[in-house]
Structure 1
Amino acid sequence: MAVQIETSNKFLNYINGEWVASNTNEVMTNINPANTDDVVGQVQKSSREDLDKAVAAAKPAKKEWRDLAGAERGQYLYKAADVLESRIEEVAQCMTREMGKTFPEAKGETARGVAILRYYAGEGMRKVGDVIPSSDNDALMFTTRDPLGVVGVITPWNFPVAIPMWKMAPALIYGNTVVLKPASEAAVTCAKIFECFQEAGLPAGVANMITGPGSVIGQGLAEHPDVSGITFTGSNTVGKNIGQIALARGAKYQLEMGGKNPVIVAEDADLDLAVEATISGGLRSTGQKCTATSRVIVQSDVYEVFKEKLVAKVKEIRVGDGLQDGVWMGPSVSESQLNTVLSYIEKGKEEGELLCGGKRLSGEEYDKGYFVAPTVFDGITSDATIAQEEIFGPVLALMKVDEMEEAIELANDVEYGLSASIFTTNIQKMLSFIDDMDAGLVRVNAESAGVELQAPFGGMKQSSSHSREQGEAAKEFFTSIKTVFVK
Structure 2
Amino acid sequence: MTEYISVKNPATGELIEEVKTNTNEEVEQAILRSHESFKAWSSVNAHERSRLLQSWSRLIQENKEEIAKVMTLESGKPIKESLGEVDYATSYIDWYAEEAKRLYGRTIPANTETKRIIITRQAVGPVAAITPWNFPAAMMTRKAAPALAAGCTFVVKPAAETPLTTIKLIELAHKAGIPENVVQCVNGSGKTIGDIFTSSPYIRKITFTGSTPVGKSLITKSANTVQHVSMELGGHAPVIVAADADIDFAVTQTIASKFRNAGQTCICANRVLVHESVVDEFSQKLASAVSRLKVGNGLHEDIDVGPVINKNGFNKVVSQLEDAVNKGAEVLAGNEFDANQEKGYFFIHPTVLKDVKEDMNIMQEETFGPVIPITTFTELDEAIKIANSTPFGLASYFFTNDYRTGVYLNENLDFGIVGWNDGAPSAAHAPFGGMKESGIGREGGSEGIEPYLETKYLSIGNL
* TM-score, normalised with respect to structure 2: 0.96
Alignment: residue pair count: 459
1:328 corresponds to 2:298: no
Distance 1:397 1:131 in 2: 54
Instruction: Pick the aligned partner of 2:7 from 10, 30, 36.
Output: 30
Give the partner amino acid of 1:225.
P
CA contact (8 A) 2:311 2:344 kept: no
5+ long unaligned stretches in structure 2 = none
The alignment status of 1:463 with 2:432, answered yes or no, reads no
Give the Cα–Cα distance (whole angstroms) in 2 for the partners of residues 354 and 295 of structure 1. 15
Q: Which residue identity lines up with residue 73 of structure 1 in the other structure?
A: R
Question: Any stretches of 5+ residues in structure 1 without a counterpart?
Answer: 1-23
CA RMSD of aligned residues (A): 1.5
Q: Which amino acid aligns with 2:199?
A: E
Match of 2:145 in 1: 169
State the distance in 2 between where 1:283 and 1:110 align. Answer: 18
The secondary structure found in structure 1 opposite 2:422 is coil
**1:271-296 Cα deviation digits (max 9, x unpaired):** 00000111111112100100000100
Counterpart contact for 1:342–1:359, Cα < 8 Å: no
For 2:201, the equivalent position in structure 1 comes to 225
Are residues 1:207 and 2:207 paired?
Answer: no
CA distance in structure 1 between the aligned counterparts of 2:34 and 2:316, rounded to whole angstroms: 37
1:144: which partner in 2? 120
Is 1:355 the counterpart of 2:329? The answer is: no
Q: CA deviation at 1:133?
A: 1.4
Among 247, 250, 253, the residue aligned to 2:229: 253
- Residue pairs, 1:261-276, within 5 angstroms: 261-276=237-252
Distance 1:334 1:289 in 2: 15
Aligned to 1:7: none
The match for 2:43 is: 67
Query: How far apart are the structure 2 equivalents of 1:383 and 1:340?
Result: 17
Q: For 1:78, what is the secondary structure of its paired residue?
A: helix
Kindly state the Cα deviation for residue 128 of structure 1 after the two structures are TM-superposed: 2.4
Q: Deviations over 1:457-487 (max 9, x none)?
A: 110111112x111111123211111112223
Distance in 2 (CA, whole Å) between partners of 1:254 and 1:394 is 28
- C-alpha contact 1:61 1:204 (8 A) present in aligned 2: no
> What is the aligned partner in structure 2 of residue 124 from structure 1?
100
Return the offset for 1:115. Answer: 1.8
Match of 1:288 in 2: 264
> What SS is found at the alignment partner of 1:42?
strand
What is residue 136 of structure 2 aligned with on the other side?
Answer: 160
Residue number among 348, 361, 364 corresponding to 1:388 in the alignment = 364
Letter in structure 1 aligned against 2:52: Y
Kept after mapping to 2: 8 A contact 1:342/1:360: no
Cα distance in 2 between the residues matched to 1:471 and 1:79: 21
- CA-to-partner distance for each residue in 1:414-445, whole Å, 9 max, x for gaps? 11000111100111100101100000001110
- Per-residue deviation at 1:395? 1.1
| Alpha-carbon separation, structure 2, partners of 1:46 and 1:60 | 20
Moved more, 449-458 or 252-261: 449-458
Alignment partners' CA distance in 2, 1:216 and 1:468:
26
Q: Output the amino acid matched with 2:46.
A: G
SS in structure 2 opposite 1:326? coil
Q: Matched residues in 1 for 2:413 and 2:185: separation?
A: 38
Distance across 2 between alignment mates of 1:146 and 1:350: 57
Letter in 2 for 1:302: V
Given the superposition, is the C-alpha separation of residues 427 and 35 from structure 1 closer, same or farther in structure 2, using an over 3 Å criterion?
A: same
Contact 1:418 1:459 (8 Å CA) reproduced: yes
SS class of match (1:371): strand
Conserved 8 A contact 1:291-1:450:
no
- 1:401-440 correspondence to structure 2 within 5 Å: 401-440=377-416
2:399 aligned with 1:452: no
Task: State the distance in 2 between where 1:191 and 1:95 align.
Answer: 11
Tell me, what secondary structure is at the counterpart of 2:19?
strand
Cα deviation, residue 384, structure 1: 2.0
Tell whether 2:451 aligns with 1:482: no
Aligned identity (percent) is 34
User: Per-residue displacement from partner, 1:55-88 (whole Å, max 9, x unpaired)?
Assistant: 0110110000011111111111111111111000
Could you tell me how far 1:404 is from its partner in structure 2? Answer: 1.3
- Which whole-Å CA distance do the structure 2 matches of 1:418 and 1:31 have between them? 30
Q: Structure 2 residue aligned with 1:96, among 46, 56, 72?
A: 72
Shift of 1:124: 2.0
Give the residue type in structure 2 aligned to 1:468. Answer: R
**Structure 2 CA distance, aligned partners of 1:235 and 1:221?**
17
Aligned to 1:290, the other structure's residue is in SS state coil
Aligned to 1:396, the other structure's residue is in SS state strand
AA in 2 matched with 1:32: N
